Amino acid sequence: MKALVKVAQGPGLELTDVADPMAGPGEVVLRVLRTGICGTDLHIESWDDWAARTIRPPLVVGHEFVGEVVEVGPGVSRVSIGDIASGEGHLICGTCRNCKAGRRHLCANTRGVGVHVAGAFAEYAVLPELNTWVHTYDVDLDVAAIFDPFGNAVHTALAFPVFGEDVLITGAGPIGLMAAAVAKHAGARHVVITDVSEHRLDLARKIGVDLALDVSQRRIADIYAELAMSEGFDVGMEMSGQPAALRDMIANMTHGGRIAMLGLPAEEIAVDWSSVVLKMLTVKGIYGREMFETWYAMSVLLQAGLDLSPVITHRFGYRDHRAAFDTARSGRCGKVILDWTAEG
């Protein structure tokens, strides 16, 4: 089969032929239909310090995908040939304390599809049955391909109750945009999203946020009056990983406010912890998705009419992967999709 492979240490990916996967006990093979390009894939392609420490070539990359089940291994009972399914990319051990307690998203021994084991940027992919989320209703394949990052957005957006609350989201990347859509759908009073990219802020307006704010031009505190706010935001979602964004968020939270933090900082962040203490703020780290409560919530949200189509801005055939990666890296895009049923 054709697959996009990190063949050796160093920048770049190569579209090459690799052996078709086979389903072992408890596993399924999917014919990949669509994949989404993630920031992790960009790190691997460019071969930054994180990739050099983490990736062991040769490796088929990619972890955001949807496919059709074409083979099931011995012991598989809940997944059938012909099912359309998305993949949960975190492979858990099943034996650590958290796994045994049902907190599988906190598994201490998690391995990543497309990071530690063969991924889904290929014509076929193999996955444990446990990690196979079967869609029991019609779902747009492009949306089904990004259930992984959509799950990150839902996990963050629903970490704290948002109904009737004023919500601040820092970072209008694809996950921030999806979190904004979820917060609005869940009944937030105001959803404000910040960034310095006018292109991404325009996507946020299409999502339906109450205010998309360029923080290089205006301060967050300056918009209180036009939103009839007086005491700051009730819920914050930090998606950018930028030090200034977290500091701005803390400064603009109301007393007793709650912050869900998904963005991974590239450097240490100096924080005014006296504000956290004196305002009695809650800061909660978010990683991945709750397996599988978040997946259930995602499906229900889509069935209830949540529209993610503005987030998906570009689609490429798999042979055009270089153009797809260049587009994703440019930042002038939302989510970029690779179609594995079309060469170009």
Residues acting as catalytic residues: 40, 43
Tokens of 159: 């970490």
CA distance linking residue 300 with residue 187, whole number of Å: 15
Residue with tokens 């200034």: 244
CA distance linking residue 312 with residue 147, whole number of Å: 12
Whether residue 211 contacts residue 201, with contact meaning beta carbons closer than 8 Å, is answered with no
In angstroms, how far is CA 244 from the centroid of its own chain?
22
Contacts of 96-104 with C-beta under 8 Å, sequence gap 24+, read 104/291
Q: Which residues contact 37 (CB under 8 A, 6 or more apart)?
A: 64, 324, 325, 328, 335, 336, 337, 338
Query: Across the chain, where does the E strand assignment appear?
Result: 2-6, 14-17, 27-36, 59-60, 64-72, 84-87, 90-91, 111-112, 124-128, 132-134, 166-170, 190-195, 211-214, 233-238, 253-261, 282-285, 312-317, 335-339
Is residue 10 classed as helix, strand or coil in its secondary structure? Answer: coil
